[in-house]
Amino acid sequence: MRNGILLVFVLAACSANDFTESTRTTNSNELSTRATLTGNAPPWAKSSNFKAPASNADWVGVRVYLDWQNPDEAASLAAAVSDPSSAQYGQFLTPQQFRQRFAPAQASVQAVQQWLTSQGFNVVYTPQNNLYVSAEGTVAQASAALGVSFATYAVEGLTLRAPTSDPSVPASLGGIVSSVVGLDQTAQLVHLHIAKDPDAPPTPGFRNAQPCGAYWGEKLATNLPNPYGGGALPFAPCGYTPDQVKGGYGISGYDGSGQTVAIIDAYASPTIQQDLDQWSANRGLPSTKITQVVAPGTYHHPEAGLKQDPQGWYGEETLDVEAVHGMAPGAKIVYVGAPNNFQDLDAAMVHVVDRGLAQIVTNSYGFNTELLPSGFIKPFESILIQAAAQGIGVYFSSGDNSDESVVQGYITTDWPASSPWVTAVGGTSIAIGANNTYLFETGWGTRRSRWTDALVTSATARPA
């Protein structure tokens, strides 16, 4: 640990380029007897974004992920039981059966735990499927244990910590450890898929301005010209009821009875049960008791310089719970809240899947894929493979930024909606007519038109 501290002190006076290169040179001899975890340094941690060396005393919460035994076989099984053309279709495993076939060996877990303890980390938790070992320590301990230095970088208006290069583990753990989550603060870049100011407090409701219609085309702007030609344009609907949406999609005869839906978000709204009760009463629906769970081994540790955002998540949670209950009033709802918005969403997903808490998992958040290290994506994909093998449907919202072309300059998808193991949902607006009929549906675009007097001009692209 002393070497790690001295390294940070020496490099503090270096430039951004010198900092990165010096680190790599210093670690080169050590890395020859170690296994490098490729893809664990985020793509935004580069010299052009460098701000300063990270504080040696900062707290670090990590999850050291292992891989499934026979991971290719696990993926093949998950695909087969999900494929209607396969002879194995629908032959899902229980969590216990999946663990017996694919969970990392207990000896491997113990080797990781012992190594972390020897490096000064406090080992916190390991789930029943042995997919990760959760531990806590400092930047200094992480630097010494993983043979890497840490710095802070400017990214999307934030100052975030990351390793300056890919970390490494002792060669004896090279075939056991697949990645380490928590060294970088990429999770701070998670996007709530809700069109509202994340800094604003919860609002009384989401309401369109008047005049608005009870359904598409009910109220027409007959006193206003149509700059596109044709007849009068309709005013936007005030907002659809659950019956309208279910009618539009042809699922009016289903209420979700016998199903349990897990909703994963960060934090937990203190008024969620009262809000759901009132919302249900306003729509003539029976309410339901929400079960709220916190995944074991996760803690609310405020991190220096990072913005806690419980209020933004309160609105997301309320929207998610009410939407699920409106579509499936007979289903049970389990809310699994991560105690912070930095890195615990993956642990929440592991808890739902490994404990078999629900048949359906719905998630309304995502990441700009280009900002994620592959070391974060790979272990999450492992969780999703277990979910598929157990017949758990995992759904992610496709995002509010359309095709991300405005942000990235080219078309790219959000993740985890882009994962082959999840169903991406949303990104459209539906027009529902009188009698709850489906009229049409449009994707959220990235362009808008400006109307100035009689002139319509096309504006530059922007997020939807």
What integer pLDDT is reported at residue 308 of this predicted model? Answer: 60
Instruction: Set out the domains of the chain in order of their start, with CATH numbers.
Output: 2-68+103-184 (no CATH), 192-443 (3.40.50.200)
Which residues of the chain carry a pLDDT beneath 70?
Answer: 1-32, 191-206, 299-309, 340-343, 445-464
What integer pLDDT is reported at residue 366 of this predicted model? Answer: 84
What integer pLDDT is reported at residue 129 of this predicted model? Answer: 97
What integer pLDDT is reported at residue 187 of this predicted model? Answer: 77
What integer pLDDT is reported at residue 87 of this predicted model? Answer: 98
* 174 vs 192: CA distance, rounded Å: 35
pTM value is 0.83
What integer pLDDT is reported at residue 196 of this predicted model? Answer: 42
